[in-house]
Amino acid sequence: MDNASLTTAPIVLTPGEVDLAALRRVHAGGVQLALAPSARAGLVAAQATVRKIIDAGAVVYGINTGFGKLAQTIIPTERLAELQRNLVLSHACGTGEPLDAGVVRLVLATKAVSLARGHSGVRPEIVDALLALCNAGLSPRIPSKGSVGASGDLAPLAHLACVLIGEGEVTTPQGEVIGGAEALKRIGIAPFVLGPKEGLALLNGTQVSTALALAGLFGAEDVFAAGIMAGALSLEAIQGSVKPFDARIHIARGQPGQIAVAAAMRALLDGSEIVPSHADCGRVQDPYSIRCVPQVMGACLDNLAHAARVLRTEANAASDNPLVFAGPEGTSGAGDVISGGNFHAEPVAFAADIIALAVAEIGAISERRMALLLDSGLSGLPPFLVRDGGVNSGFMIAQVTAAALASENKSLAHPASVDSLPTSANQEDHVSMATFAGRRLADMVQNTAVVVGIEAMAAAQGIELKRGPKSSPLLEAEFAAIRERVAFIDQDRFLAPSIEAMRSWARRSDWPEAVRSMLPSQA
């Protein structure tokens, strides 16, 4: 991370109040993070509660016992530091490619926020260290596989915790892989000797699942916006009817996402010269992939909005176990330490599955519009959008690529949350699989970005093949942005670079306000 790119004012993380816009900025990088000063009192109080339990000689799960199936094993006070260190090392069993830097930043930020809720019993210095790693662009190498999403993301979070005790590995902003102790040295922190409850608090929690799902949500928003834009361009390319976007139709049904998408389509088409140029063409109904953009994309938007609400809540949640509830201020009461199951990531798994359905549908309807553009009987455009067909194949195989990726997404959209495999000698007998549910979203978003990018490239080709009246100012600006990336295809050429350029187009976030205002993290 280039320090010159950092904003001067840090994002202040207030536990319980961190919003999606801030989390999107954390994922994108180039920001500094700071903990709200108001959170420190809760951290100190919870740690004091843990200390009172130790001093009183009480036996409390997670503080001076074994874990999981070993919860009945009492650990003597002089071995508690050893217990916490062994817990971290023994649970660092992840495998697979490391999570990317954007996801790791989200993990660090949300783990800091969760601990700072004041129910985990850790020192404030632990939270400070997590934020210092993030601010320095030092990414703990967290393997992407090995969590079932309950009892928290144990294995991946153990790899994060390893760094705090001077173990594990870290990737620097320059891509260098260094040891955990060296990473801490670079930010002026000595390796921690973990106190009672601290190792367990770091390992328990849903932060990896949540970070993966948040990254998937942000990517889904990008391709959703691209899908709206591509759909509007395709409508102009086939000279489709705008009557299906009449506000009265959508108000009569009442679905909020549908109403919003129809309004966005009207805004994108406002001022088009193409629309009135075919007012008397006699066209009554377009295929569903054009006519039902508000209904399909609106349903996707409603699902993304629901998932966003769940993930925002979870990003602010205290999700480790047991939870510490400090006694009333000014009293001698030790407070309560209560075992529960907030580490079970079922809400995250459902949210990720809902995002997956939306991402798959965005790509599915886009691929159908792409196929429509190539069908001269329906579109009125040259077959496969190229002149001198036969000698030239045009977009024939680009549509095959889109179909392959849309079909792949159908398999990836199978809900992960319906699966469960018991672990820990049946103590953890139902799990969420939320980590995979979130992780697979990255592949799905990339697939859909390619599909929507191909559609937009094809729509621009169709508009240019019929070039006469201009489209709306917003769509003409988007047409120009596409042409900056890919040229008109007058004869067959190597298309893979153009497809990659359009994938990047679909992963943008700087969409017109008419589209961007619908997105949960940018509204």
3-state SS assignment for residue 153: coil
Q: Distance between CA atoms of 296 and 240, rounded to whole angstroms?
A: 17
Q: What is the mean pLDDT of residues 67-82?
A: 82
Q: What is the mean pLDDT of residues 217-241?
A: 97
Q: Of residues 40, 61, 173, 327, which has the active-site annotation?
A: 61
Residue 8 scores a pLDDT above 60 = yes
Residue 4 scores a pLDDT above 70 = no
With a pLDDT cut of 90, the percent of the chain lying above it is 81
> In sequence order, which residues have a C-beta less than 8 Å from that of residue 290 and are 6 or more positions away?
231, 234, 235, 238, 240, 244, 369, 372
> In sequence order, which residues have a C-beta less than 8 Å from that of residue 14 and are 6 or more positions away?
36, 38, 39
With a pLDDT cut of 70, the percent of the chain lying above it is 96
Task: Name the residue with higher pLDDT: 1 or 324.
Answer: 324
- How many other C-beta atoms can be found within 10 angstroms of the C-beta atom of residue 282? 5
Q: Distance between CA atoms of 315 and 52, rounded to whole angstroms?
A: 29
| Whether 288 is catalytic | no
Q: For 326-336, what is each residue's pLDDT tens digit? A: 876 544 456 89
State the average pLDDT for the chain.
93
| DSSP collapsed to 3 states, 250-289 | HHHHCCHHHHHHHHHHHHHHCCCCHHHHCCCCCCCCCCHH
Residue 479 scores a pLDDT above 80 = yes
- How many other C-beta atoms can be found within 10 angstroms of the C-beta atom of residue 248? 7
Query: Checking DSSP bridges between strand 336-338 and strand 323-325, what pairing results, if any?
Result: antiparallel
Q: For 365-410, what is each residue's pLDDT tens digit? A: 999 999 999 999 888 899 999 988 888 899 999 999 999 999 999 9
Q: For 288-327, what is each residue's pLDDT tens digit? A: 999 999 999 999 999 999 999 999 999 999 999 999 998 7
Looking at residue 73, its pLDDT comes to: 82
